[in-house]
Amino acid sequence: MALYFSKDHEWVSVEGDIATIGITNHAQEQLGDVVFVELPEVGRTVTRGEESAVVESVKAASEIYAAVGGEVSEVNEAIVETPEKVNEDAEGSAWFFRLRLADKGELDDLMSREQYDAFLATLD
């Protein structure tokens, strides 16, 4: 299972041609208390960079842009029911949605964990 990161603070975990997408721990920390999540419909095809989900904290709303494109195969209803899970386990059980990758080549533009950590260090 390969793990990738985007500059928009999403993680992408790939098994076969299925990618699981969530937001990073850094992203949930920046958001603060998450109170609302809206996910794409299963079956919708999203292209890379397309607005595909919404996450809102007490203070602000953020759009989630798909780090890779494909057809949405599954969404995590648990974080819609209990949005605070995103704060508790952003890089684990609080994944957002899964999609069937349209173009695996898009993964090449993402970062490894080490590269992402280095990227985070440049933000402060």
Q: Name the site residues for another protein (rule: CB under 8 A).
A: 32-33, 35-36, 38, 54, 56-59, 61, 83, 87
Between 15 and 29, name the residue whose CB sits nearer to another protein: 29
Between 16 and 122, name the residue whose CB sits nearer to another protein: 122
| Closest to 20 measured CA to CA, from 67, 85, 80 | 67
Between 47 and 87, name the residue whose CB sits nearer to another protein: 87
Checking 23-27 for CB contacts under 8 A at 24+ apart, the result is 23/55, 23/64, 23/86, 23/90, 23/96, 24/90, 24/91, 24/116, 25/90, 25/91, 26/120, 27/90
Min dist. Cβ of residue 114 to another protein (A):
26
Min dist. Cβ of residue 32 to another protein (A):
6
Stated as kind and residue range, the H or E segment containing 34 is strand 34-38
Min dist. Cβ of residue 102 to another protein (A):
24
